[in-house]
Amino acid sequence: MDIDRRAFIASLGGTAAVSLMDSEAKADALEHWMEDQLDQQGATAQGTAEKFPTVAELEAQIETRNYRRGAGNVFVNTRGNVRKLEPMPKNPTLKDFFRLRFAPANHVLQSATRAMKTGMSEEIILACLLHDCAQALMKADHGWWGAQLFEPYIPEKSTFGIRYHQALRFYADSDAGYEYPDLYYRIFGQDYVPPPHIEATYKMLRNHKWYMEPRLVTVNDLYAFDPNAKVSIDPFEDIIGRHFKQPKEGLGNDNSPSAHMWRTLANPDAPL
Ligand SMILES: [Fe+2]
Ligand SMILES: [Fe+2]
């Protein structure tokens, strides 16, 4: 396949963003890019709508893998061996985790960029920036994991947005500008029905005064890969400075209720 180098680098946020990525992140990003290009070429060539798998077809794949789909990104490399991670600095900050554990973080940076461009509140922009970061640790129920990870450090509304975007993703709200994403037909199955806790959470949220907090996280949740997006964490430094209570000892060293989660991210190779 011909690789459009400029478009690929632009898709990662430009040369500055690429320089922050380690070699594993670069290799992963290149593979994702090539897969996307292939998918696009295939869809155009066939000129037909994509056929989505059923829940049963996806379940049949479980025993064909040596990992589970819910495992966090720092624990599993679905395309080969994992690599040695660069150690975290002594008193790690949120920005250090973005660089060394969440990278390339393109999806959350694109979501937060969209929230900022469309003039949303700082709590929403922060929620968008952090909404999927916990997927480094755990993908299953990542809204709840993410809210727990960040709760000691961020405004309550941002935590609320992160926790509950997970449920609202499954329910369209065209008035708010959110449609059910094709991606979910692909990864959950075309006949997927959310489990009871998600359905109950959705019902609770519909009548909640903060409904729009998680809803706006879903509105900014971009499922399409934008090859022209230039993203960086730099535009969010002021918002992080104002709303993220960075502990002086460093994340993981402050005895907060989620310190162990940060330590696990910092050191996912610990055998016990
Ligand atoms: Fe998410
Ligand atoms: Fe997302």
Give the model confidence (pLDDT) of 84-132 as tens digits: 999 999 999 999 999 999 999 999 999 999 999 999 999 999 999 999 9
Residue 246 in domain: yes
Percent residues over pLDDT 90 in the chain: 76
- Residue 229: per-residue pLDDT: 78
| 145 CA → ligand 2 middle, Å | 14
Q: How does pLDDT run across 143-163, given as a tens digit for each residue?
A: 999 999 999 999 999 999 999
Residue 271 in domain: no
- Residue 6: per-residue pLDDT: 56
Residue of higher predicted confidence among 124 and 6: 124
| 132 CA → ligand 2 middle, Å | 5
Say yes or no to pLDDT of 11 above 60: no
| Six token digits for residue 120 | 């949303």
Name the nearest CA neighbour of 128 among 171, 157, 89, 96: 157
Ligand that lies nearest to the alpha carbon of residue 146, given by its number in the listed order: 1
Residue 36: which domain range?
5-266
Burial 44-72 (b: 16+ CB within 10 A, else e): eeeeeeeebbeeeebeeeeeeeeeeeeeb
| 108 CA → ligand 2 middle, Å | 6
Say yes or no to pLDDT of 45 above 50: no
Residue 192 in domain: yes
- Residue 181: per-residue pLDDT: 92
Residue 25 in domain: yes
Ligand that lies nearest to the alpha carbon of residue 135, given by its number in the listed order: 1
Residue 272 in domain: no
Protein residues within 5 Å, CB atom, of ion ligand 2: 132, 221
Residue 42 in domain: yes
Say yes or no to pLDDT of 256 above 60: yes
| 62 CA → ligand 2 middle, Å | 23
Say yes or no to pLDDT of 66 above 50: yes
Structural domain count of the chain: 1
- Residue 225: per-residue pLDDT: 62
Band (42; pLDDT cuts 50, 70, 90): very low
> Across all residues in the chain, what is the average pLDDT?
88
| 179 CA → ligand 2 middle, Å | 14
| 165 CA → ligand 1 middle, Å | 6
Q: What is the pTM of this model?
A: 0.83
Task: Say whether 140 sits in a helix, a strand or coil.
Answer: coil
| Residue position matching structure tokens 């709590």 | 123
| 172 CA → ligand 1 middle, Å | 15
- Residue 55: per-residue pLDDT: 97
| 222 CA → ligand 1 middle, Å | 10
Ligand that lies nearest to the alpha carbon of residue 220, given by its number in the listed order: 2
| 46 CA → ligand 1 middle, Å | 30
| 109 CA → ligand 1 middle, Å | 13
| 185 CA → ligand 2 middle, Å | 15
| 148 CA → ligand 1 middle, Å | 14
Residue 103 in domain: yes
| 88 CA → ligand 2 middle, Å | 25
- Residue 44: per-residue pLDDT: 46
Residue 65 in domain: yes
| 129 CA → ligand 1 middle, Å | 11
